Amino acid sequence: VTAEPFPAFDHRPQGMWRYRSLLPIGDGPIRYPLPVGGSPLTGPAVLRDRLGLPDLWVKDETVGTSGSNKDRATALVIEDGLRSGATTITTASTGNAAVATALGAAAAGIRAVIFVPAGCAEAKVAVMRSAGALVLRVVDGYRAAFELSRAAARHFGWLDRNTGVNPLTLHAKKTVAFEIWEQLGRAVPDVVVVPVGDGPTVLAMGRGFRELESLGLTNRVPRLIGVQASGCQPLAREWHGRPDSPVRHSGTIADGIDVPEPISGVEALAEVARSGGAFVAVPDAAMLAAIGMLASTAGVTCEPAGAAGLAGLLKARRMGLVAAGERVVVLVTGRELVVGADVPLEGGEALIAARLDEVERYAGALA
Ligand SMILES: Cc1ncc(COP(=O)(O)O)c(C=O)c1O
């Protein structure tokens, strides 16, 4: 793989800040202290042989600080916040954006108040707390956690990192497209396969490639295939003309994409349609099989949502959506971190109803 830089950016380091002239932040030193972006794009021969896809590539977003693709948006939002003197950051999350925020905030010296659905994975809450975050588990689920986090940001004046809402999150995520283009020797693939929960990851992927097109750096954009879980597939159902309702949501082990009411759903559907791509849905068993396949043929370990892209690619092949000779990139989005049982968990944790006075009770001292 060649990694020829943008001509004007020869002196830039690897990683997300390489593209800072295409990001909405000003000049001056980057204050965000952790490495971000620059994830590997590998062409695993064993996996290629197994799938009969000789031009298959794996974009491994599990390698960063928090083990997921959420580090990029976290870094850009915190960088922006540090420039304006923010002292507390908040987000709602199914888990990974929260872990990324807790770790990024800890390193940046600001406080994190995290809103998760009550059923958020214990292992992820433990990582957040080990980083000192206050974790508020909202009984009414993820959408309520999202609304409450936004209301709290407004009420207390906290930095709002909520996905798809803060436009910086999309700008940060588009850098994955820039990296893929550079890593393929300044060329775009035919297809990119992306797990989809709230929608910003696939939306920003499309926007990133379209930005390259508008800069005259490519004359076409890849087809985007969005992958959802069979037990939670509002966008795949919408795509196939069978709109879902939250009531029929049976759930999935892939917590990162267990989002019955996607925040950026409309935009994600439009972006996928514009690219000439499609949505597919895969059962939990297919994601588990894909985790095993990634480990045994590509040396990549990940969680179920992280493997949804590969599971979706297998389904898309069976559906005739991807041809054998095409250049395909699969995005692997996350790997679960683990905190040892005896590690002190400094942050706090509470189960709350979706009300501001509940937030005040636990986080008021921080405001
Ligand atoms: C591992 C993993 N994959 C995919 C996604 C889906 O990303 P998005 O919500 O941007 O669609 C998430 C979101 O939490 C995730 O944690």
Tens of each residue's pLDDT in the chain, 367 residues: 444 444 455 556 779 999 999 999 989 999 999 999 999 999 999 999 999 999 999 999 999 999 999 999 999 999 999 999 999 999 999 999 999 999 999 999 999 999 999 999 999 999 999 999 999 999 999 999 999 999 999 999 999 999 888 999 999 999 999 999 999 999 999 999 999 999 999 999 999 999 999 999 999 999 999 999 999 999 999 999 977 555 567 899 999 999 999 999 999 999 999 999 999 999 999 999 999 999 999 999 999 999 999 999 999 999 999 999 999 999 999 999 999 999 999 999 999 999 999 999 999 765 4
- Distance from residue 69's CA to the centre of ligand 1 (Å): 8
pLDDT of residue 3: 43
Q: Coil, strand or helix: which one is 327?
A: coil
Q: Coil, strand or helix: which one is 59?
A: strand
- Distance from residue 308's CA to the centre of ligand 1 (Å): 10
Ligand 1, atom nearest to 197 Cα? 11
CA distance 187 to 174: 16
Tell me, what DSSP letter sits at residue 232?
A: B
pLDDT of residue 242: 79
User: Does the CA dihedral 294-298-303-304 come out positive or negative?
Assistant: negative
pLDDT of residue 284: 98
- Distance from residue 121's CA to the centre of ligand 1 (Å): 15
pLDDT of residue 67: 97
Mapping DSSP onto H, E and C, the string for 262-297 reads CCCHHHHHHHHHHHCCEEEEECHHHHHHHHHHHHHH
What's the whole-model pTM score? 0.95
What is the bridge-based pairing of β-strands 56-60 and 41-42? antiparallel
CA distance 303 to 288: 8
Q: Coil, strand or helix: which one is 43?
A: coil
Closest C-alpha to ligand 1, atom 1: 334
Cα-based torsion angle of the residue sequence 251, 244, 70, 132 in order, rounded to the nearest 10 degrees? -50
CA distance 259 to 200: 12
**CB 38, CB 276: distance < 8 Å:** no
- Distance from residue 327's CA to the centre of ligand 1 (Å): 23
Cβ neighbours around 343 below 10 Å, total: 12
pLDDT of residue 2: 43
**CB 106, CB 127: distance < 8 Å:** no
**CB 294, CB 301: distance < 8 Å:** yes
Q: Is the distance from the beta carbon of residue 200 to the nearest atom of ligand 1 less than 6 Å? A: yes
Which residue is associated with the tokens 């069978």?
242
Backbone angles phi, psi at 352, to 5 degrees: -135, 160
**CB 171, CB 68: distance < 8 Å:** no
Q: Is the distance from the beta carbon of residue 265 to the nearest atom of ligand 1 less than 6 Å? A: no
**CB 68, CB 39: distance < 8 Å:** no
